């Protein structure tokens, strides 16, 4: 290893925290500067569904996302004890079976379940679905709990976190910019993709793993977030992908679409209680690929799009490896700001 560097990290969302944790554990001196006065108040990370689903993402993403994502799951497993590694399911209404067939062709690693197998895995689905795709090596987590854990681990690793400042700490050997859309002043091709979600509480519904519903009008995914203090199960229902950069309230159209799809998944959601409706804006480059952009000691880690929790650990690993060896990943690193 090289001599320890002094490294300043801008932004304390999931991307910045993973950078800080990985580098601090390697012995580097790390200072994190976060513009918000309190943790996560201005970050898009708390609004994530936090599905670690690199296999399912193959349906619409390039192979590099699966490659990096599989490594990302391994890194989460090594650090986070509450990771739920129960796999994920994809279903479609019987009349839309062709959507399920297409999804299976576009992805790898699925097991096709019949009704009996689905009944054994997720009994709550079998009244409405006769078959499903099961991706056994995927995982999920509660983003709020995971972010709080990472923040604590970063501090335990010796990194310093400064809240309420957007200024870069002076004297750093390297600056790692993880501000997401906050870096648009330096990365003009960066854009925001709005995602809306609904969090509900239900006493009559129980799922152990995320479920994606393929639907011609209202596709959605459902992520179980465990029990609340009353013993009811909490679920995240999401999420839209809208080419808008405002993080305002959830629109009526989106709420209707998400709730209608949840009702298709299980009519018992009609009795669920809505805990929150919220929206976050995710940073993406025009090709929706993640980027590590380096120039004279300044490093951007950005464009994680819908894959923030999935890719943040491996992006931190790639940056750490680059600082210590100079080796870059050919599909992720860009050597100058003009190539984005």
Domain spans, the chain: 6-48+142-188+286-334, 88-136+192-284
Query: Any bridge partners for residue 221, and if so which?
Result: 212, 238
Q: Among all chains, which residue has been given the structure tokens 């490093």?
A: 299
What would the CATH number be for the domain defined by 6-48+142-188+286-334?
Answer: 3.50.50.60
* Residue 92: HSE in the Cβ half-sphere, 13 Å Cα cutoff: 17
Contacts of 130 (CB under 8 A, 6+ apart): 94, 114, 115, 118
Identify which of 269, 131, 253, 145 has the alpha carbon closest to the alpha carbon of residue 207: 269
Identify which of 203, 55, 58, 213 has the alpha carbon closest to the alpha carbon of residue 139: 55
User: What is the model's pTM?
Assistant: 0.95
Query: Any bridge partners for residue 88, and if so which?
Result: 135
Both tokens of 160, joined, read: 């310093």
Kindly report the number of other CB atoms within 10 A of residue 121's CB atom: 19
List, as one string, the DSSP characters of 109-129: SEEEE-HHHHHHH-GGGTTT-
Q: What is the pLDDT of residues 153-194, one digit of tens each?
A: 999 999 999 999 978 888 999 999 999 999 999 999 999 999
Cβ–Cβ under 8 Å, residues 129 and 207: no
6-48+142-188+286-334 matches 88-136+192-284 in fold: no
Exposure string of 180-215, with b = 16+ CB inside 10 Å and e = fewer, is bbbbbeebeebbbbbbbbbbbbbeebebebbbbbbb
Q: What is the pLDDT of residues 224-246, one digit of tens each?
A: 999 999 999 999 998 778 888 88
Exposure string of 34-66, with b = 16+ CB inside 10 Å and e = fewer, is bbbeebbebbbbbbbbbbbbbbbbbbebeeebb
Confidence of residue 339 (pLDDT cuts 50, 70, 90): very low
What would the CATH number be for the domain defined by 88-136+192-284?
Answer: 3.30.9.10
Percent of the chain clearing pLDDT 90 (strictly above): 82
Say if strands 132-135 and 139-140 run parallel, antiparallel, or are unpaired. unpaired
């Amino acid at each position: 290893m090289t001599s320890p560097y002094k490294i300043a990290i801008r932004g304390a969302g999931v991307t910045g925290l993973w950078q800080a944790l990985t580098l601090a554990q390697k012995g580097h001196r790390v200072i994190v500067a976060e513009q918000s006065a309190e943790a996560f108040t201005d970050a898009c990370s708390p609004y994530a569904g936090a599905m670690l689903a690199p296999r399912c993402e193959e349906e619409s993403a390039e192979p590099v996302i699966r490659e990096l994502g599989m490594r990302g799951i391994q890194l989460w497993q090594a650090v986070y004890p509450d990771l739920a590694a129960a796999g994920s399911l994809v279903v479609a209404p019987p009349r839309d079976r062709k959507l399920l067939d297409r999804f299976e062709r576009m992805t790898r690693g699925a097991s096709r379940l019949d009704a009996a197998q689905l009944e054994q895995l997720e009994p709550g689905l079998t009244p409405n679905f006769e078959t499903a795709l099961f991706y056994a090596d995927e995982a999920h987590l509660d983003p709020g709990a995971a972010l709080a854990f990472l923040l604590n681990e970063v501090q335990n690793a010796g990194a310093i976190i400064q809240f309420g400042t957007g200024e870069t700490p002076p004297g750093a050997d390297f600056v790692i910019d993880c501000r997401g859309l906050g870096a648009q002043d330096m990365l003009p091709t960066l854009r925001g993709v709005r995602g809306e979600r609904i969090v509900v509480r239900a006493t009559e519904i129980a799922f152990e793993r995320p479920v994606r519903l393929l639907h011609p009008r209202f596709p959605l995914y459902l992520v179980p977030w465990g029990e609340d203090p009353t013993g009811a199960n909490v679920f995240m229902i999401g999420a839209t992908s809208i080419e808008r950069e405002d993080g305002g309230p959830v629109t009526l159209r989106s709420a209707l679409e998400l709730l209608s799809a949840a009702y298709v998944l299980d009519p018992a959601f009609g009795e669920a209680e809505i805990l929150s409706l919220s929206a976050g804006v995710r940073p993406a480059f025009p090709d929706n690929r993640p980027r590590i952009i380096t120039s004279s000691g300044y490093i951007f880690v950005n464009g994680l799009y819908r894959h923030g929790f999935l890719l943040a650990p491996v992006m931190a690993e790639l940056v750490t490896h680059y600082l210590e060896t100079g080796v870059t990943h050919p599909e992720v690193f860009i050597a100058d700001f003009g190539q984005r």
